[in-house]
């Protein structure tokens, strides 16, 4: 009668937008444009935060004996928290993860992006001056977050001389962001059933994540503190060299270096 033990599948969308299909078509067109010009297209997001300590990890791992872990996952027993901020290059099938220890803020998100560009991006794309970022519509790269756009202007465009185009996925569509199923899923499988008892353990599992399709992952620990609730003034926003696109400007925009007038 087709009965079997089955797990729940996250397939039903609870948030929808009337512009959902239009944005997906625009995203595809932008990806083709950038890839055709040999400009980098990257997917970014933050993976689920993990407590550092002798806590139970979801999944199973090969071993001769089960590892004994704490009977409760109390945050007071944690040595800290790991915030994996990922950058994934679909064309090269390469991932880079910056592990933060503070808060998942817009400043942290942009610093992680800059870390990828200076460590890998500019070597992989030496002739590129433009970058396409595929991001969710919420979180530290919220499409409405002033801090996200202000930090992109100051830390990426002005400091590194990049012109950055951002295209956000519609609300409720984060599962279609390439980083979710091409990078984060592989990481989850690699450290399944293995307690993340130190930052070194986290970095080791990230760096040893591989797939049959050739995925390679690099990782680093991001030092520093990222305070919450930092406000961006209207004057700073007015000074951004930001151009909203004609198609769904709330989700698609380009930020250029301040020295370049659009």
SS3 content of the chain, % helix, strand, coil (to 5): 35, 20, 45
pTM attached to this predicted model:
0.93
Q: Note down the domain range covering 148.
A: 20-59+70-255
- Give domain status of residue 248, yes or no: yes
Give me the tens of pLDDT residue by residue for the chain, a chain 262 residues long. 999 988 887 777 776 788 999 999 999 999 999 999 999 999 999 999 999 999 999 888 888 888 899 999 999 999 999 999 999 999 999 999 999 999 999 999 999 999 999 999 999 999 999 999 999 999 999 999 999 999 999 999 999 999 999 999 999 898 999 999 999 999 999 999 999 999 999 999 999 999 999 999 999 999 989 999 999 999 999 999 999 999 999 999 999 999 765 4
Surface-to-core class of residue 154, CB atoms within 10 Å of its CB (0-12 exposed, 13-18 middle, 19+ buried): middle
- Give domain status of residue 10, yes or no: no
Which CATH number goes with the domain that contains 110? 3.30.420.10
Residue 252 near residue 26, CB atoms below 8 Å: yes
Surface-to-core class of residue 122, CB atoms within 10 Å of its CB (0-12 exposed, 13-18 middle, 19+ buried): middle
Residue 142 near residue 148, CB atoms below 8 Å: yes
Residues forming a β-bridge with 184:
none
- Give domain status of residue 162, yes or no: yes
Number of domains in the chain: 1
């Amino acid at each position: 009668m087709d009965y079997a033990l089955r797990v729940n599948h996250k397939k039903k969308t609870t948030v929808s937008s009337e512009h959902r299909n239009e944005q997906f078509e625009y995203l595809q067109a932008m990806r083709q444009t950038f890839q055709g010009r040999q400009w980098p297209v990257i997917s970014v997001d933050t993976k689920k935060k993990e407590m550092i300590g002798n806590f139970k990890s979801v999944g199973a791992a090969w071993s001769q004996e089960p590892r004994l872990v704490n009977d409760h996952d109390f945050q007071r027993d944690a040595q800290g928290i790991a915030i994996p901020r990922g950058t994934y290059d679909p064309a090269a099938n390469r991932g880079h993860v910056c592990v933060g220890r503070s808060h998942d803020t817009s400043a942290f998100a942009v610093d992680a992006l800059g870390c990828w560009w200076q460590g890998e991006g500019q070597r992989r794309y030496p002739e590129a001056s433009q970058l396409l970022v595929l991001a969710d519509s919420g979180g530290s790269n919220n499409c409405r977050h002033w801090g996200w756009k202000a930090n992109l202007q100051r830390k990426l465009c002005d400091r590194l001389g990049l012109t950055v185009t951002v295209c956000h996925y519609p609300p409720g569509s984060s599962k279609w962001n390439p980083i979710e199923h091409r990078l984060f899923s592989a990481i989850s499988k690699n450290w399944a059933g293995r307690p993340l008892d130190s930052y070194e353990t986290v970095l080791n599992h990230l760096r040893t994540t591989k797939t049959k399709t050739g995925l390679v992952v690099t990782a680093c620990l991001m030092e520093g503190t990222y305070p919450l609730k930092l406000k961006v003034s209207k004057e700073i926003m007015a000074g951004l060299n930001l151009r909203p696109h004609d198609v769904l400007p709330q989700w698609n925009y380009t930020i250029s270096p301040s020295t370049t007038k659009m």
